[in-house]
Chains A and B, each alone.
Chain A
Amino acid sequence: MTPSVIELPVTEDDRRIARYTAAAIALTVAEAALPSPLPGIKPGLANIIVLVVLLRYGWRDAAWVSLLRVVAGSLVIGQLFAPGFFLALAGAVSSLAALFLAAQLPRRWFGAVTISLLAAFAHIGGQLVLARLWLVPHDGVFYLAPLFATAALIFGTINGLIAAHLIMQVETI
């Protein structure tokens, strides 16, 4: 009996997604070291990578990077299957839905900042809904919504600007 070799062909797409995901994971880990005034309020720097991937390679690649980032990122910082992991996942899934819709907007009028803001609001929306349904079964969680919305506004704008900057740099190289 000859040992069978299972070969998993790696495409150029796979390599590209893996590299971007690695960059997103690095940002997740760096961000985990930052102090936060309130649990859940984070700049979400990894989303800059997701935005760049969305605008350059489309939604499918962005979804891979975003979801792989959540799973591998929480593995690295020791949060896998902790409540924070599910909150991150809920945020990622709902912001991917927003990214899908936002990517349909005419590029002529709407740039990275719009997409980033919509994703940021969807992100906190998804997290609040999950938190309300599962972690804090009380309407009190919505009391925090304005703070999260403020964070989404600020970081969504900044991340969008950074993504726009990165993309413009890439395209002029």
Chain B
Amino acid sequence: MKAVLPDDLREIFSKAGYSGSWHKYLKVGDWLVLFLSCALVVLSYTLLWRGGVADRAIVKRDGQTIIEISLNSASKTRVVGPLGTTVIEVQPGRVRVFSDPGPRQYCVQQGWLTRAGAVAICAPNHITLELNGRGEASYDSLGY
């Protein structure tokens, strides 16, 4: 330790304890930058994590909405596409593609969707499942 540390750091570490407040290390500009950084972080959450709580699932075939299912109660819905029947399973607050005739099963493997804006696409069978929520329209503005 003694050979490695630069002289000034060694002296600091050998000094016992710390007294005083952290305030004295923050200059005016530091407060400003700190404040702006906090705002930036809050903004990053609101911009990137915007998807709110989902309240309904929308099933589309070839881009046309076929059925809208409420996420309030459990159900299973069958939707027929070019390859066969895709089964959509709803449980309170979440939805998944239960089964699909597509060859690669991507949309089934995606599992449960819970967030507004989440999408599962069963392309071979032309079926898409997406979640919709009140998230985006639930406020007019945000103030911090």
Contact = CB atoms under 8 A, between A and B. Distances in A.
A and B part of one assembly? yes
B5 A111 contact: no
Interface stretch (A16-24, A67-75, A85-93): A16-24
Contacts of B22: 161, 165
A143 interface: yes
A112 B25 contact: yes
A23 B37 contact: no
Given A161-B22, A170-B12, A143 B30 contact: no
A161 B25 CA distance: 6
Contacts of A101: none
A19 B6 contact: yes
Interface residues of A, number: 37
Interface string B19-48: 000101111111001100110110011001
Interface of A: 16, 19-20, 22-23, 26, 52, 105-106, 108-114, 117-118, 121, 142-143, 145-146, 149-150, 153, 156-157, 160-161, 164-166, 168-170, 173
20 contacts: A23-B5, A26-B4, A52-B9, A108-B27, A110-B29, A111-B27, A113-B26, A113-B30, A113-B33, A114-B29, A114-B33, A149-B44, A157-B37, A160-B30, A161-B22, A166-B9, A168-B24, A169-B12, A170-B8, A173-B11
